[in-house]
Structure 1
Amino acid sequence: MHLCRVPALIARLFQQLAYKAADTIYHRTCALTAGPRFPKADEIRGLDLEVMRGAGLSRAKALALKDLSEHVLDGRLKLRSLGHYPDA
């Protein structure tokens, strides 16, 4: 194997591992509530931080989800309007 390709193969391996970890955390977070979907804002509000961490979310990510949920619930963030903004 040519040595120039080794870093690319290693990067690809870690990319796949990162996807698998993210997919696992996503599905564990979905399982925290009754539905098979990702929890709604009011459901996230009611989740205990340590329960969220038990699903694999870091403390910072769990707090960010709770903060975003509060913004949705109090009307500061309107999810339907997000499609009107560019990604950049």
Structure 2
Amino acid sequence: MGLSAEQIRVAMDALAATEPAFAAGLSRVGYPPPRLRERGYATLLRTILGQQVSVASAAAVYRKLESLVGNPNDPHTILAASDEILRAAGLSRQKASYVRSLAEEVTSGRLDLDALPEDDEEAIAALVRVKGIGRWSAEIYLLFAEGRQDVWPAGDLAVQIEIGRLLGHDERPSEKLTRSLAEAWRPHRGALAIFTWHHYGAGPDTPPKDAAPV
């Protein structure tokens, strides 16, 4: 599971103590709620189904897949399903190949989601070997499902926008700059990423709270 509310609070307090911009952001929108996902195949399957579609569309595809194959969370059912069935569930030819790739990696044992490398970069490398899993998807999985405290999805648009806003940049920082800036925020970058999404959701004109969050 991902970072707990207490872990996020402790990390954000540490960041706010060294960066006034983060302290000001906390006073405006408060601490973010946890973002928790189950570790394992089912979460990665959902990640692939959700790529480039709305949450509602991804949920509809999952329900249709469930009605056609039984339990989509068992990779063997995906491997046993024909291309026609996967297409009937609403998967594009590309996504069908992605979910098959994931199922093959897991059932073959080449990808052991219960024993990913402890080093974050090595874990990301193991995940991106799956067709359809890019760096962003791998980072989100490690943050939400494994609670890796220093994962930093610098390629995320909302993260870039909010880091720029919080630090007073005139333009949205690039992925390279967002990654470089974050070196100073180790080892709390995972909590900060969650905070940037929270701050982004609150909008740029959120008025300050009457008192600092407790």
Q: Same fold (TM over 0.5)?
A: yes
Do the aligned partners of residues 26 and 34 (structure 1) sit closer, same or farther apart at CA in structure 2, a change above 3 Å counting? closer
Name the counterpart of 1:30. Answer: 66
Do the aligned partners of residues 22 and 34 (structure 1) sit closer, same or farther apart at CA in structure 2, a change above 3 Å counting? closer
Please state how far the C-alpha of 1:26 moved relative to its aligned partner: 1.1
Please state how far the C-alpha of 1:22 moved relative to its aligned partner: 1.4
Q: Does the CA-based 8 Å contact 2:70-2:77 persist in structure 1?
A: no
Q: Which of 66, 71, 77 pairs up with 2:100?
A: 66
Higher-Rg member (1/2): 2
Q: Which of 79, 83, 86 pairs up with 2:113?
A: 79
Distance 2:107 2:77 in 1: 11
Q: Does the CA-based 8 Å contact 1:29-1:39 persist in structure 2?
A: no
Please state how far the C-alpha of 1:62 moved relative to its aligned partner: 0.7
Q: Does the CA-based 8 Å contact 1:33-1:39 persist in structure 2?
A: no
Matched position secondary structure for 1:32: helix
Q: Does the CA-based 8 Å contact 2:79-2:104 persist in structure 1?
A: yes
- Give the alignment's TM-score, normalised by structure 2: 0.29
Q: Which amino acid aligns with 2:84?
A: E
User: Comparing both chains, which one has the higher relative contact order based on Cα–Cα distances under 8 Å and sequence gaps of 6 or more?
Assistant: 2
Q: Which amino acid aligns with 1:45?
A: L
- When the two chains are superposed, the root-mean-square deviation of aligned CA atoms in Å is 2.3
Which is helix-richer, 1 or 2? 1
Distance 1:87 1:47 in 2: 36
Q: Which amino acid aligns with 2:68?
A: L
Q: Which amino acid aligns with 2:107?
A: L
Distance 1:30 1:21 in 2: 14
Name the counterpart of 2:77. Answer: 43
Matched position secondary structure for 1:79: coil
Distance 1:50 1:22 in 2: 18
